Amino acid sequence: MLNTKAWSVALLLLVSEATLAQLPDFTEMVEKNGGAIVNISSSHNAPDKGPAQLQQLPEGMPPEMEELFKRFGQGQGGDLMPRNSKALGSGFILSSDGYVLTNHHVVDDAQEIVVKLSDRRELVAKLIGSDPSTDIAVLKINAVNLPTVSIGDANKLKVGEWVLAIGSPFGFDQSVTAGIVSAKGRSLPGGNYVPFIQTDVAINPGNSGGPLFNMEGKVVGINSQIYSQSGGYMGLSFAIPMDVVMNVVGQIKAKGKVSRGWLGVQIQDVTRELAESFGMSKPQGALVAKVIPDSPAEKAGLQIGDVIIEFNGHVIETSGELPPMVGMTPIDQASEVKFIRQGDKKTAPITIGLLPEEAQLAADTAAPKISNRFGVTVTSLNDEQREQLKINQGGVLVQEVAKGPGLEAGIQRGDVILRIQNAMVENVADFEKIVKNLPAGKSVALLIQRRDSPVFLALKIDK
């Protein structure tokens, strides 16, 4: 008869074997797809830019985010950039006649692009086209009968599902790393048109542009960004979903550029305080902070303060979910938006337009007048300032922000206050009158324009 110690060892072995049996085996997947993974090097005439720098983030980002996002690529934070001004990245073969996909930032401004195949051949590639907004580039090499990958459906990915990456971190070709899907539909700074797949797959400089595989051995994303304080892998990686990729690839191959759908609104998230001010039961949707004149949104009747909660049948939980949906919608397609206006749910048909170029504006300064209740100093806008800011009427310019509700709400010097709750601010006297009559202890919605962007803030006056 076995003693207690022997039984314990036997039981431990059985548990270990059972655990190992549940872990995925990636060997067959790697053998099948490894030949389609390529190393990409791009040479540049520009002088050495030194160590990769943090990606510039939009003003107003939460402090904890400002130090963490780094993009792999020359001068943008991560892809291997030796002193000879060559950027190294990864890619994969999309079709047997030589079309290759990678990231835009791997080949941006390259004088020459060289694709190194798994059989050690090195071929000069032609850049067919690239899209900075989604960080996708399409290359073409002169070769035939090449091994290819199969494209999968990123929409079917589930959080917790195993995924695998193959690439060239730090130039080490055909490196394989694995992990799980951590989240889907992530909105990142500078990625308005990409609902990123977040994973914990080890991704490092040089992995950029490489494929992310599901357990069926199909590519579901292109590895593009990491979340890091050090510039290296820290457990958070982001990939561009293949439905976004193939939409861009199709447009680039057909016409050499990418066109995107456009509503003509500037939006932001609904905070708990803003939800309270709008009479909503919970924070949800995309809050309309600006409606562009003569845009599809204006023609459809959307207004500042509307909260878009659904687009073409897709529920909008956060504002970051809306731009990718609209951007991938064909131009001139009839669509439908559902929104909340002053507590009432409404529906409007809308015809998607073509995304135009965006203008950059700046604000000037003038003589101040003080509002002690907000703790801000404001003044009227002159004609020159209105022309620069494209504000036809109303609004007051913030000159100084002292300690008080305004500072706590996030008001900054140079902001233009356009609207308080549902009342338009026509001039300084109007502003003072509205502020004087605001209720104490209740959140109110404040619409400001900061540089060229409208922003809603939630403000509460204690007394």
Which residues are known catalytic residues? 105, 135, 208
Give the span between the Cα atoms of 180 and 202, in whole angstroms.
10
Q: Which residue has the tokens 């076995």?
A: 2
What is the phi/psi pair of residue 338, to 5°? Answer: -115, 140
* Residue keyed to tokens 């991938």: 328
Long-range pairs, 122-130, Cβ under 8 A, ≥24: 125/40, 125/100, 128/99, 128/252, 128/253, 128/256, 129/252, 129/253, 129/256, 129/257, 129/258, 130/104, 130/252
**What are the two backbone dihedrals, phi and then psi, of residue 407, each rounded to the nearest 5 degrees?**
-65, -45
What sign has the CA pseudo-torsion 65, 63, 59, 420?
positive
Sign of CA dihedral 405, 340, 188, 158: positive
Q: Pick from 342, 344, 347: which is nearest to 300 by CA?
A: 347
Q: Using CA atoms, how far apart are residues 152 and 205, in angstroms rounded to an integer?
A: 25
**In angstroms, how far is CA 233 from the centroid of its own chain?**
19
Closest CA relative to residue 328, chosen from 145, 89, 131: 131
Residue 426 exposed, middle or buried by CB count within 10 Å (0-12, 13-18, 19+): middle
3-state secondary structure 163-178: EEEEECHHHCCCEEEE
Contact between residue 297 and residue 265 where contact means Cβ atoms under 8 Å apart: yes
Query: Is residue 144 within 8 Å of 206, Cβ to Cβ?
Result: no
How far apart (Å, rounded) are the C-alpha atoms in residues 279 and 372?
27
